[in-house]
Structure 1
Amino acid sequence: MSFFRSAGLCLSLSLLLMGCDGGSNLGPVSAEEREALIRNAATTAPNLQPGEKIRVTVFGEDRLSGEYEIDPAGFISLPLAGTVKAAGFSKPQLEQELAKKFRGEYLRNPKVTVDVASFRPFYIMGEVGKPGEYSFKSGLNVMSAIALAGGSTYRASRSTVLIQHVGEQGFKEYPLAPTIPVLPGDLVRVPERYF
């Protein structure tokens, strides 16, 4: 009798744990959140993030120009400027910050431009042919991200996709539509559909 009781307890615990998602699914997004994401992705460039590689050009100063990777703490190290915070800044904000750092006894009025050489990759998992890490390209949406990952499996949801943007604590549910953008560093999960 105790064998059946402990087996039943194990089965109950397993079912309970399988049903719990650990709070990682934050539920569906509201229409306002969805529209804000679409609008922001179309009109503004994302802020710089750790893991991205940027190209810094200081006009007339080839020894200061080059490609630099933003380290995990969000900093880059440049000659004459030293260690500078880059993550969280937009490109124009970082250009102003670097111009301030270079200004001084070495350069009088530095002209600095910053371009993103390579964005942070995005990750796709779940019901896709080839889950994994993929290079981010400008204009990427959930449909093109799924296509890059080998398309969806026969078990994949036909109506929703889960996305966790950088800085969010869990996945949010979005409609599976070409208007939903994928941003650098996003985690995209294609859930299994319910039959």
Structure 2
Amino acid sequence: MIKFCISLLSSLMILLVSQAVVAGDEYALGAGDMIRIQVFQNPELTTEARVSETGEITFPLLGSVNVGGVGIGQAERKIAQGLVQGGLVQKPQVNIVLLQVRGNQVAVLGLVNRPGRYVIETFDTRLSEMLATAGGVVASAGNGKAILTGVRDGKPIRNEIDLADLFLYQGKVTDPLVVRGDVVYIVPGNQVSILGEVNRPGRYPLENASMRFTDALAMAGGINPSGGDSAVVEGTRNGEHFYKKIDLLSIFMDQDQAMNLDIAAGDSIYIHRAPMFYIYGEVQRPGAYRVERNMTVMQALAQGGGPTPRGTQRGIKLHRKNASGAVEKLSPELDAVIQAGDVLYVKESLF
């Protein structure tokens, strides 16, 4: 039954193409089309060929012949001319029959579930139908746009269609016809980029015209353990560049709503990495750790689980870069404050 339906659909497509040719709109061969070529009184030259992506077919005695983008009649004359020039057939009568229409395709790309090239099944196919064929628009597209590019009356066109208008109003003005060779690209609408130390960095659609900073962070899964106490919001406000530093502690600890500003479409949020210090040597859990405010050497050692039985607090060395960039080796007090980039090394005790 499925094979019968496919065969019937192919027959209908060929019939429609034939009707278009009769009406004067000669069908131009395209990549994927299957044709049968016959030369009168030369049955040995009968060939079935598929038009390649470069528009070429292979024909006996002639080799590669480019028929892509030309009408069937012009392709017949092109093959006949090659046979005459090669001295192969004196007065060839070439006939081309279109067996399968595969060149009648539209590329659907971007934020759809199944991007790819799809055959136009009828000559009145609209944009919304092509998007449905491609599995529909993905959720992350938000209230984005469809950019339709192609050629009409020999001139290139580029139309931007609002997806909300396309699916809500379904008017013919907002749901244009697509033709062979068109490219449909779905781009995101009102989105915000959330990058840096968050659990799910990426681009996210704004549910409303704007949202609060903390709501945007929630969409990205919140700040990960490596996140610091500051962030940056960058975008455009009233046509001018906008840049704002955010103190995260003011928002989450002091509930400072003035710092929890509104995020607009096109904004970029970047969560900085927390300043880190490092512990090596005879400690339980050597590695990198986040520097907390006013953290002391004693508290830093606790982050690493404390010294091992072979370690000693008397053997602690602090490696720190000075203003000139040189590394100094210090013997710190336990109440000394840790700085970003510090390296604590716990030496092995001999006794």
TM superposition score normalised by structure 2: 0.35
Q: Does 1:110 align with 2:93?
A: yes
Mapped partners of 1:180, 1:158: distance in 2: 21
**Alpha-carbon contact 1:53-1:67 (below 8 Å) kept:** no
TM-aligned CA distance change 1:62 to 1:188, over 3 Å: farther
Mapped partners of 1:160, 1:44: distance in 2: 32
Q: Deviations over 1:97-136 (max 9, x none)?
A: 1233345554634141242623244321233333233334
**Alpha-carbon contact 1:74-1:86 (below 8 Å) kept:** yes
Counterpart in the other structure of 2:72: 91
TM-aligned CA distance change 1:87 to 1:191, over 3 Å: same
TM-aligned CA distance change 1:77 to 1:145, over 3 Å: same
Which residue of the other structure, out of 159, 176, 183, is the alignment partner of 1:173? 159
**Alpha-carbon contact 1:55-1:68 (below 8 Å) kept:** yes
**Alpha-carbon contact 1:155-1:193 (below 8 Å) kept:** no
TM-aligned CA distance change 1:43 to 1:115, over 3 Å: same
Mapped partners of 2:114, 2:131: distance in 1: 9
The residue correspondences of 1:15-164 to structure 2 (distance < 5 A) are: 44-45=25-26, 47-49=28-30, 51-58=31-38, 59=40, 61-103=42-84, 106=89, 108-115=91-98, 117-120=100-103, 121-139=105-123, 140-154=125-139, 156=141, 160-164=145-149
Identical aligned residues as a percent: 21
Task: Answer 1 or 2: which has greater strand percent.
Answer: 2
The CA deviation at 1:95 is 1.5
The CA deviation at 1:142 is 1.4
CA RMSD of superposed structures (Å) = 3.6
Mapped partners of 2:178, 2:128: distance in 1: 9
Amino acid in the other structure paired with 1:57:
I
Counterpart in the other structure of 1:182: 179
TM-aligned CA distance change 1:118 to 1:62, over 3 Å: farther
The CA deviation at 1:93 is 0.9
Q: Which has the larger radius of gyration?
A: 2
Highest relative contact order (Cα 8 Å, sep 6+), 1 or 2?
1
Q: Deviations over 1:114-165 (max 9, x none)?
A: 4262324432123333323333434233121111012234555778521343
Task: Answer 1 or 2: which has greater helix percent.
Answer: 1
Q: Can you give the 5+ residue segments of structure 1 that lack an aligned partner in the other structure?
A: 1-41
